[in-house]
Structures are given as C-alpha cells and as structure tokens.
Amino acid sequence: MSSLSPLFRPRSVAVVGASTRPKSVGYEVVANLLRSGFRGPVYPINPKARAVHSVPAYPSLASVPAEIDLAIITVPRDYVLPVIREAVEKGVRGIVTITAGFKEVDEHGAMLESEILQILRDSGVRMVGPNCMGLINTNPDVCLNASFTASPPPRGGVAVASQSGALGETILKTAGQLGLGLSSFVSLGNKTDVTGNDLLEYWADDEQTNLILLYLESFGDPKEFARVARHVTHTCSKPVLAVKSGRSRAGAEAASSHTGSLAGADVAVDSLLQQCGVIRVDTVAELFTIAQGFAHQPIPLGRRLGILTNAGGLGIMATDAAVHFELELAKLSEATKDSLRAVLAPEASVRNPVDTIATAGAEEYRSSVATMYCDPNVDALIVIFVSPIMIDAPGVARAIVQGVEDGRTRCAVKKPVLSCFMGKHHGDEGIAILHAAKIPVFGFPEAAAESLSAMAQFGEMLREPLGEPANLSPAPKRELVRALLKDANSGWLGFADVMSVLNAYGIPVAPWSVVENANEAVAFASSVGYPIVLKIDSDTLLHKTEHGAVMVNLRTSQDVRDAYAAISKNISGLAGRHKFVAQKMMVGMAETLIGATTDPTFGHLIGFGLGGIFAEQMKDVVFRLSPLMNRDARKMIESIRGLALLQGPRGTEAVDIDALADVLLRVSRLVEDFPEISELDLNPFLAHSDGSAQAAVDARMRIDSESAR
C-alpha cells in the first residue's frame, strides 16, 4: 500500500479547528467533506462546540472513540505542533496542514516547520502542507473533499498538483468551466513532507488518473523527479503537463565559458522536463488549453491534420495554426473527396481544409466528419462550426458527435477529434452537447492546433525507445584523471592538464605541444606536419581572437616565427599567466561546441551546438541534464536548428553523428565522475564524416573544489 493512501483514501477524517463560524476555513472544510459525500465518518474537533454542521464535535483527537486515518489541521500556527504530536499519539497516518505562517513568513515559522518534519520522519506519518488549501479525491469509493475550495470539481481522470494555494482555487474553477473532470487535486503548500515527486509516484499507479497537471514554483530533488517522471510518461504512458514559474536565474551573465553563458536562465528546467517526457507550458491558461485534448481524446498516430469548417476564413486560420505548431495538412484521398462531393453543396471545397460553406447543416457535418475520420491519410481532425442563424446549432453538435461515432465504428481506429464551436445562436447548448460527448471545444482554431500538437509530441515520445545508460568503449581511464585533479586548485586548468583529462576519457584532441620559443614551435611543426596553429594558453584570456593571441594556417617555418613574434607583441603587458601552444591544424566538416556547465539546483548541464566564433552569436545550442542516456545524446544533435549543416548540405558528406554522440556521452560521464569540474568547453570541436578524424582543437576546464565535497 502506498504511504499516501491515508491521505487519498482515508476511512475516517478529523478536522482540528472545525468551526461554527460561517466562511471560516474550519467551517468550510467540514462543509466540503459533508457535501462531497465522504464515505467514512467525519469528526469535527472543537473544544467549545457541541456540533459543527450538525455533526457531533469532540474536544480533542484523543477523545474521539474511534480510529482516525486523516487529520485536517486548521488551528492557528502556534497550536499546530502540539496537534501533530497528539495526532501521532492517536495513530493518525495522514495529515493535511492548511494553516499558514511557517517558513514562508519568518524564522520562528521555519523552526516550527523543521520540528514538524522531524516528528513526521520519526513516526512515518505523511503530511501535505502547511500553507495549503487541502486535498481532493473524487474517486466514488472515497468522495473526499478535504479543502476549503468554493469550486468543487467534476469527477474525471485529471490529477492536479499546485504549489500555490491561491492559484488552486482558480485551477478548480477553470476545470469546472471547461468540463475537465478531476481524479484528484492537491495543494502542496510548503512541501514540508509530501512533494510533487511523491504525487507523481502515487498517480502513476492510480487507475483513476490518466493525465497529470503540475503548477510548480520549485523542484525538490531534480534527479528523483527525472526518475519518477520518466516512469509516469514512458512506462505508464500518462501525459504530464507542467507550468514551472520563476524563469529567471541570477548569475547566468557571470558565466565565463561559452557553454556557461549560453545556458542562460531556465535552461535547466527545460532540459529536465524534455528529458522526462514532461510537456512544459508557459501559463496556467495554456495548461488548460492543452489539457483539454489530452483529457478526452486518444493520442494521434501522426501529425497529419484534417480540417472541416463552414467558414473559409477560419479554415485559413486553422491552416496557419497547423503550420505554426508543426502539424501537417493531410492530403485527402480521391475516395474521400468523392464522398464529400456527394453530400456537400457544389460550391463547397473538398480540398483540405474542407469548406462546407455556411449552408451546411447537421447531415452534411455528420457525413463529412465520418468520411474524413476514415481517410487513412488523416491522423486527427479539427471540426469548426460558426453558428449561422438559419442552422440548428445543437443539431450540428449532435451530428459531429454522431459522425465521430460512425467513423470509429467504420474504420475501427481511434483518432482525436477537437472542435471549435463558435457563435451565440444556441452555441452554448451545442458546446454542452460536445462536452458531454468528451469532444473538446476551443474558442479559436489556434488553441485546438496547439493542444493537438502537444498530443502529437507526446505520441512521438512514446514511440521512441527510452534509451539506456551509455556503454563507452574504450572505457574512460578514471584513475588517471583522479590523479591529475587530486591537487588541482579551484579555477581554470592549464591547457596541458585539460588535454590530458580529455585524452583519458577518450575524447579526441588535435596533436599539441607547449613550446618555449619559436624554434620549439618550428620543431613541433616539422614532427606533425604543416600547417599548424600557434596560440596562447592563458588563465585570463577567454576569447583569444579578440586579443590577437591565436594565429592559424601557418605553413612554413617563417610563418611560425612571424606568428610567434606577433603574438608576443599582442599580449605584451596583459595580466595573467601566458604559455605558447603549438597545435596541428585540423580540418573538419563543421565546427561544433560541446561543453558542460553547472546549475546550482540541477547539477551539470551538457551543451551541444554550432561552435567556433559563431557560438554566442547564433546561440544554436541545445542542453540536457547529465547523466545523458544514449538516446539523449543523439536527440541533442538532431535538435539544433543548424542540423542541416551536419547532414551534408548541397551534396557534401554528412558528419559522423554517432561519433559526435559518443563524445557527448563521454563528456557527460566525465562530469558525473568528477563533479568538481564546474565548466568544460570544447570550442571548436571539429566534426568530420570520418569519426576517427574529429577532434577538439581548443578546450577550457574550470575546477570548483567545493563541488566535490
């Protein structure tokens, strides 16, 4: 049995702080428990009242002559700790603390909250809150509304967790207005004990829940979230939609490497959610827009969209929205077009989007919906109806419902159907008919396309392999790197140490040597072959080209000597430690950037994108949280906007994507093995059609000794 069962499926509930005063929290919680038809006994706890809502009251938890599974606490803050102690002594297994005024207010509140957590840990009791609005479970076997909401939701398959109590009321009200039925709702509050991770784990196995919506202000344990969320989305095939507030992160501007500066604000959250299969949205309004399709319709098998409308302008709007949200306009079969011509007016257009014109009524809609539904080239439908005064709008709504049923019967395939039912002429009645049939209704085509696009994205994720931890061959030489970094001080490593670390982990680098003078540089060039590069290894110069500290394509000994002299002059007077490095000049098919940076909450982020001097200008970089799975590395490469440059534009050879992915996996393993590596930058990393010819030609690595502790 889940440790959260006493919260979601209690056999009895006590309300500590139950009140006879209307509009008080203690009054409303008892009222909601009774209105919801809770299946077990309710015990109001109030030492000054004989009854609350005509239910006999008790002076304390200890005085209740029965077992109590769940206690709802609404007493003032300074009484909460004694009540929790009493609840533990009574054998209560679940607590919802609605009372506010803890760590969100002052140090004393934080101290009380810490004491509460210790009691919970010692006793094994689970608690939601404090500083929350409560918990709801609409399961007919339970019928629990342990909250003070004024908007009890309809029953359905959507589970909602909100870290904001005030926003919770809006969420519940909106769900009711949209006909979005909930399986459960939890206001998390301060998350002292029960977290979003706990709820995800519970809802993964909850048969009543098929869609999860999250409003989060913070993450507890990101790696645990990743593990649980992957299980929910990939293994249980349950969509998770999330709003994560707080998109800014102080400190991004201070990042000193290319990778660190490109990570920017909020990248870690996006990376985490993408890797878990969680669909992130920007606003609560968008959350509900997208949720409508997920809640009631099957996941599409592809992105090919059919559009049916009685208004040409709205058909164009729907087409534009489909393109914007990366859906494809389905190419209708000739058989489908012939069937449409047979029922529609001669003026109608049977090309997708299909325009029935304004005179189309119920029969035209029923037949057209069924016909388009059964077209094998159509993965999903958006049906648009604007209510002309001469057309029976409720009749059209019933016809759409019947058309969907006919289509599913005829072709035995479940496809999503979303609708836009617009206009005031009996429009509300038509919308109610569609809602009752579980066909989502949107105000405009753009919203329907956005929801459908998210559904298609989730379907694609389900059809892809989950991925596995990387099996690197040859294996990294971990002990060699441990010895190299053993006595390293915080700060940037020297070039030689960085290259040695990369070599130990099988990350290819261009041949190089530290040189003391021009003669040594010429000797190096003679040994590896011209052309070479001459540059400075510096602890103060990040961008060498800006200071004239790098010279490339040196093809003769005189070129090398001239470059040595020029660089020496350019850096004369510049502060810092400077050493000359000679390096074999490598040629690649494309310059890429591979790197790692550290987020204070989420840990290491691995970055990949276009590199060289354009890295920061183009900002075409994708990030994922470490550790990467094999699938993550390849998806990163395939996600950059400049992918075509790696795939061989205009008949040129494509780079070895697998070899690039291997380097990403090795970088991920390196920073996982050595968390003291706070930043790593391979820029440029030369990609090549021959994986054995690829190489890093420049690299920087920063050590933070505190991170290893």
Residue finishing a domain among 463, 482, 511? 463
Give dist(CA 643, CA 384) in Å, integer: 37
Give the DSSP letter string of 415-473. Answer: --EEEEEE-SSSHHHHHHHHHHTT--EESSHHHHHHHHHHHHHHHHHHHS----B---S
**Claim to verify: residue 311 and residue 207 sit in the same structural domain:** no
- 553 part of a folded domain: no
**Claim to verify: residue 326 and residue 193 sit in the same structural domain:** no
Give dist(CA 379, CA 381) in Å, integer: 7
> Tell me, what's the pLDDT at 255?
37
**Claim to verify: residue 302 and residue 210 sit in the same structural domain:** no
**Claim to verify: residue 304 and residue 200 sit in the same structural domain:** no
Is residue 579 within 8 A of residue 520, CB to CB? The reply is: no
**What's the structural domain count of the chain?**
2
More confident call, 125 vs 168: 125
Is residue 429 within 8 A of residue 394, CB to CB? The reply is: yes
**Claim to verify: residue 182 and residue 40 sit in the same structural domain:** yes
* Sheet (strand 13-16) strand order: 42-45, 13-16, 70-73, 94-97, 126-128
Residue 193: pLDDT above 60? Answer: yes
Residue 265: pLDDT above 60? Answer: no
Is residue 633 within 8 A of residue 665, CB to CB? The reply is: yes
Q: Within 10 A of 538 (CB to CB), how many other CB atoms are there?
A: 21
Residue 250: pLDDT above 50? Answer: no
Residue 545: pLDDT above 90? Answer: no
DSSP 8-state secondary structure symbol assigned to residue 11: S
**pLDDT band at residue 248, thresholds of 50, 70 and 90?**
low
Mark 360-396 as b/e (b = at least 16 C-beta within 10 Å).
bbbebbbbbbbbbbbbeebbbbbbbbbbbeebebbbb
**pLDDT band at residue 258, thresholds of 50, 70 and 90?**
very low
User: What pLDDT, in 10s, does the model give residues 282-321?
Assistant: 999 999 999 999 999 999 999 999 999 999 999 999 999 9
Place of tokens 């909601």: 32
**Claim to verify: residue 200 and residue 344 sit in the same structural domain:** no
CATH of the domain at 406: 3.40.50.261
Residue finishing a domain among 435, 463, 491? 463
> Tell me, what's the pLDDT at 490?
87
Section 545-554 average pLDDT: 90
| Amino acid type, 142 | V
Instruction: Say what percent of the chain tops pLDDT 70.
Output: 95
- 188 part of a folded domain: yes
- 407 part of a folded domain: yes
- 708 part of a folded domain: no
**pLDDT band at residue 708, thresholds of 50, 70 and 90?**
low
**pLDDT band at residue 167, thresholds of 50, 70 and 90?**
confident
Give dist(CA 178, CA 442) in Å, integer: 9
**Claim to verify: residue 318 and residue 179 sit in the same structural domain:** no
490-to-130, 495, 532, 673, 704 alpha-carbon distances in Å: 41, 15, 31, 17, 5
**Claim to verify: residue 192 and residue 302 sit in the same structural domain:** no
Give dist(CA 228, CA 158) in Å, integer: 18
Give dist(CA 165, CA 168) in Å, integer: 5
Give the DSSP letter string of 626-639. Answer: SSPBHHHHHHHHHH
**pLDDT band at residue 618, thresholds of 50, 70 and 90?**
low
CATH of the domain at 151: 3.40.50.720
User: What pLDDT, in 10s, does the model give residues 380-397?
Assistant: 999 999 988 889 999 999
What lies within 8 Å, CB to CB, of 212 at 6+ separation is 158, 159, 160, 161, 200, 203, 232, 238, 239, 240, 241
- 481 part of a folded domain: no
What ranges in 91-164 are assigned the alpha helix state H? Answer: 107-123
Give dist(CA 415, CA 371) in Å, integer: 13
- 366 part of a folded domain: yes
Instruction: Say what percent of the chain tops pLDDT 90.
Output: 77
What six digits make up the tokens of 418? 């979303």
**Claim to verify: residue 319 and residue 423 sit in the same structural domain:** yes
Q: Prior bond to 445 cis, omega within 30? A: no
User: What pLDDT, in 10s, does the model give residues 344-379?
Assistant: 999 999 999 999 999 999 999 999 999 999 999 999
User: What pLDDT, in 10s, does the model give residues 21-49?
Assistant: 999 999 999 999 999 999 999 999 999 99
Which range marks the domain in which residue 330 is found?
298-463
User: What pLDDT, in 10s, does the model give residues 519-538?
Assistant: 999 999 999 999 999 999 88
Q: Within 10 A of 41 (CB to CB), how many other CB atoms are there?
A: 14
- 129 part of a folded domain: yes
DSSP 8-state secondary structure symbol assigned to residue 613: G
Residue finishing a domain among 427, 443, 463? 463
Section 467-472 average pLDDT: 85
- 404 part of a folded domain: yes
On average, the pLDDT of the chain sits at 92
**Claim to verify: residue 320 and residue 197 sit in the same structural domain:** no
Give dist(CA 657, CA 648) in Å, integer: 11
